[in-house]
Amino acid sequence: MTIPADTTGGVKRREFLKVLGVTGAATTMVGCSTDKVEKLIPYVTSPDNTVPGVSNYYASTCRECAAGCGIIVETRDGRAIKIEGNPDHPVNRGALCARGQSALQGLYNPDRFRGPMQRQGGKLVPITWDQAIDALHKGVDTAMKSGKAKNAVFINQHEQGLLHTFLDEWLALRGMPAHISYDAEAPFATIAANRQVYGVSWPKLEFGAAKVIVSFAADFLDGWGLPVPQQLDFAEARGKIDGAPRLIYIGPRRPLTGLNADQWIAAKPGTAGAIAKMLAGKMSVADAAAATDVPDKVLAALQKEVASAKPSLMIAGGSGPHAQDLNVEVANLNKSLGNVGVTVKPAEAYGAWEGVVPPAVLNDVVAAMEAGDVPAFFVRGSDPVYSTPAGVGFAAALQKVPFKVSFSAVPNE
């Protein structure tokens, strides 16, 4: 996409808003309106490549999660009517989860904003695009003249394309720091461990190369990680006539991955790390059994199977105070078992979550806002007021920022 520059070498404000997708809320609302659906108005002059009643298909990328699956969007008479997976895309190979299929519900959400809004007297009221652009210009200009532009905050949903580069360049031209990439649904404990042990946020997992797969509370067949590519790779591995890997699931409850496992080991909550230490030779079978409430013979059999089945694949998930230690332990276990480069491939890492920040970064943002150091706050595709714990105090701190802009298409916190 070519973006015209203004005379100062920056990006025009109107183009900036377009790239962020704000204008999409206005341009699509004719198709989203529910009070005129009984009236079919034909084109006076049909747009190019549009034939009434004949579908057009456009390739795009799903943004419902960090996987970035390729999609084909079917449109008819200028309206998107169906989303399917792109069979030529390397990530999902034509498959698409229910979340991706339901993306149209967001497009046609009746609560979607029909244009820019401004808070006046404690309420959001409609304004024109010229008024919105003027307000953005004045707010940014005031922040730049305040001497605190270096403390401005732009929180954006995690992006894998070039938008993050565009955002950072736009911010830099105004003396503002790079944006914060935040995804409340990211498996932060796993990402941190991957970065620490493998040097990447998300290495490629070769399910088909393993003889045994051990999941430590990582529900990779449901919503954990990158669901669609993981499901495809696992199904392909298990579909082999000879050499299909065994799956062992370790966790206090039995989710979808556990239901598809050959064996479920019901360890007490927060104790899966003891089993990882046992497999690494750092803990005896008896001590691991006492810590997890799993019979000795079950753990002894697991230890024997992992030692003999090479290569293997160890995957860790979870959240909470024990998750970070568990993920680091399991990642190091993969190294000691010789799985790195065989079933765990950092050199072929996915771009997913590369650059995403941990939740602790938002604590620093709150502290800066409370101190009155943040002159402007921008947020797009994220809702930190909702996703952060109440104890963080994000909402109260945000009230101390003089200029706030949300690029959300729908009302949220």
Residues 326 and 365 grouped into a single domain: no
For the segment 359-390, what is each residue's pLDDT rounded down to a tens digit?
889 999 999 999 999 999 999 988 999 988 88
**Range in 1-15, 110-124, 146-160 the model is least confident about:** 1-15
Helix ranges, 108-148 (H) = 129-145
Is 304 part of any domain?
yes
Domain end: 348, 375, 390, which one? Answer: 348
Number of domains in the chain: 2
Strand 153-156 and strand 212-216: the pairing is unpaired
CA distances 366 to 317, 327, 395, 398, Å, are 28, 28, 9, 8
Q: Which domain holds residue 141?
A: 128-183+356-406
Return the axis-axis angle of helices 188-197 and 323-336, rounded to nearest 10°: 40
Return the axis-axis angle of helices 323-336 and 272-279, rounded to nearest 10°: 20
Termini Cα distance of the chain: 32
d(CA 334, CA 285): 19
Residue 271 in 3-state DSSP? coil
pLDDT of residue 327: 93
Q: To the nearest whole number, what is the mean pLDDT of the chain?
A: 87
Residues 388 and 320 grouped into a single domain: no
Is 370 part of any domain?
yes
**Range in 10-19, 66-75, 175-184, 279-288 the model is least confident about:** 10-19
Phi, psi at 299, each rounded to 5°: -70, -35
Residues 261 and 391 grouped into a single domain: no
CA distances 13 to 6, 95, 151, 153, Å, are 9, 38, 21, 18
Residues 175 and 214 grouped into a single domain: no
Residues 337 and 196 grouped into a single domain: yes
Is 99 part of any domain?
no
Token duo for residue 104: 């149209």
Instruction: Specify the length of the chain in residues.
Output: 413
Tell me the β-bridge partners of 75: 56, 80
Q: Which residue has the tokens 């360049």?
A: 169
**Radius of gyration of the chain from its Cα atoms, rounded to whole angstroms:** 25
Domain end: 303, 326, 348, which one? Answer: 348
Residues 378 and 270 grouped into a single domain: no
Residues 247 and 336 grouped into a single domain: yes
Phi, psi at 340, each rounded to 5°: -70, 125
Q: Are 242 and 302 in contact (CB under 8 A)?
A: no
Phi, psi at 306, each rounded to 5°: -65, -35
Residues 329 and 274 grouped into a single domain: yes
Closest to 366 in 3D by CA, of 388, 334, 339: 388
pLDDT of residue 324: 87
Return the CATH number at 254.
3.40.228.10
Mean pLDDT over 185-208 rounds to 91
Residue 120 in 3-state DSSP? strand
Token duo for residue 86: 């792109």
Residues 281 and 361 grouped into a single domain: no
Closest to 14 in 3D by CA, of 327, 5, 270: 5
pLDDT at 230 over 70: yes
Residues 222 and 259 grouped into a single domain: yes
Q: Are 355 and 365 in contact (CB under 8 A)?
A: no
d(CA 61, CA 161): 10
Q: 348: how many CB neighbours lie within 10 A of its CB?
A: 12
- Find the angle CA(165)-CA(397)-CA(118) to the nearest 5 degrees: 70
Max CA distance (Å), the chain = 80
Q: Please, which pLDDT band fits residue 23 given cuts at 50, 70 and 90?
A: very low
Q: Are 218 and 224 in contact (CB under 8 A)?
A: yes
Domain end: 348, 366, 386, which one? Answer: 348
pLDDT of residue 21: 59
Token duo for residue 264: 């479920």
Residues 192 and 341 grouped into a single domain: yes
Is 162 part of any domain?
yes
Q: Has this prediction a pTM greater than 0.75?
A: yes
Q: Please, which pLDDT band fits residue 329 given cuts at 50, 70 and 90?
A: very high
Return the CATH number at 362.
3.40.50
Closest to 278 in 3D by CA, of 326, 339, 342: 326
Q: Is the peptide bond before 311 cis (omega within 30 degrees of 0)?
A: yes
Closest to 197 in 3D by CA, of 358, 327, 351, 360: 327
pLDDT at 105 over 50: yes
Token duo for residue 406: 């949300």
Residues 223 and 241 grouped into a single domain: yes
Contact partners, residue 187, CB within 8 Å, separation at least 6: 224, 225, 317, 319
For the segment 259-274, what is each residue's pLDDT rounded down to a tens digit?
999 999 999 999 999 9
Beta strands in 41-116 (DSSP E): 55-61, 70-76, 79-85
pLDDT at 127 over 50: yes
pLDDT at 36 over 80: no
